[in-house]
Every structure is written in C-alpha cells, then in structure tokens.
Amino acid sequence: MIYEEGCIKNLIMLEPHEGEFAVKVVREAIEKRLKGVKVSVKDFEFPPKFEEKRGVFVTLYKNGELRGCIGYPYPVLPLKEALIKAALSSAFEDPRFPPVREKEMERIRVSVTVLSEPKKLKSKPEERPERIEIGKHGIIIKRGIFQGLLLPQVAVEYGWDAETFLMQTCVKAGLPPKSWLDEDTEVFLFTGEIFEEIEPKGKIAHIGL
C-alpha cells in the first residue's frame, strides 16, 4: 500500500528472525557496556540487510513504564550502526532518566522500531488529521529550530485520536499544542515495524504497524 499524501510505502523492512536478532543485539550491547566492555558493530555477525541505511528507535520499558527511548528518525547510518548507538543511548544517555544499572536489566523489556523514511505531509493544515492513521503512522513536527517525534505505537498506547497525536507531537517539539494548524509548521509521517520482548529476556514478538 502507498499513502497518497507523503508517498509512504508500507513495507515490511525486516523479516521476523532479523527483528528478533536486532532485539537480542540491543540487550547484549547494553549488558556488555554495563560490564565495562567496549561495544562495537564488529562484535556481532549482522545479516546483509543491516548494512542498509535505516531509521531506528530503541525503547526500554521497566515494570511497564518507559525507561529510555532514543533513536534515529532518518536513514543516515547503516542499520547495524544506528541500532548499536540507539541501544547504548537509550540505556545511558536519555536525559529524562538516570543511566540503566546492571541489576535493572532483569526487569527491563527491550523494543526495537525500524522506520520507513519520513515523508512530508502536503495537505492543508486543517486536513492533516484526516491523513493520519492511528496505529500506522508516526509523526515528526518541525518548525524552525524546533522538532519533535512520536512513534506510531505511542498514540495507540495512550488512546489518542489524530488531532491529539498532532498536538502531543507539537508539545514534544517544544511548540504550542495547536502549532500543527500553522502553515509554517511542517508535518512528516512515517511507518514502523516493531520487534519487542513480551517480557524481559523472553519471547520476541513482531508487531507490524
């Protein structure tokens, strides 16, 4: 399927076994760093697809609550590099949380979202909510030096409609909630494939959005 507005191709970007591998790499990379071991892409035998440039986010949950989330919205790095960097950043550099400690890893659940390339939404501002499919699209809001991103699953988790999703993304960008109605506010949409542990160190599920 191709979305007319923004031309987002709804593609399955990784096979299930490749997504499972990505989640395991994230956990292993974090656990290695916690033991004081330097982590490199050379530590893992990545499938060929991980050489391609992809956007990716790593999200950590502890006891059902967010524990860290950092990533790359645009395909600027090979997936293998972006994955390692996002893994370590989400665990140790998310400014909203203290660095993850080793004893926490038994309670932390790992999630990886591989993104399509964001495409600019060209609708009139008032028509933007009509072009957003909850459960399918993530949003990037840009205006001047301000930028904010929310992953597709966030709207589902909080039960938001499209307008609320847009407003919350504006807030994430540091803008007034209704900035999405302004002509000079740019809105970009993307899709994602989620691979995540059902429970810490447990079975890995593939959630296609």
Residue 134 in this model has a pLDDT that exceeds 70: yes
Q: What is the mean predicted confidence (pLDDT) over 147-176?
A: 95
List, edge to edge, every strand of the sheet that includes 119-120.
119-120, 186-190, 138-143, 146-150
Question: What's the pLDDT score for residue 9?
Answer: 47
Rounded Cα distance, 169 and 15, in Å? 29
Query: What CATH class has 119-190?
Result: alpha beta
146-155 tens-digit pLDDT: 999 999 999 9
Mean pLDDT of the chain: 91
Q: Do domains 8-116+192-208 and 119-190 have the same CATH topology?
A: no
Residue 15 in this model has a pLDDT that exceeds 70: yes
Residue 209 in this model has a pLDDT that exceeds 80: no
Rounded Cα distance, 196 and 206, in Å? 7
Rounded Cα distance, 151 and 149, in Å? 7
3-state secondary structure of 46: coil
Question: What's the pLDDT score for residue 3?
Answer: 33
Query: What CATH class has 8-116+192-208?
Result: alpha beta
| Element of type H or E holding 76 | none
Q: Which residues contact 96 (CB under 8 A, 6 or more apart)?
A: 68
Residue 7 in this model has a pLDDT that exceeds 50: no
Domain residue limits, the chain: 8-116+192-208, 119-190
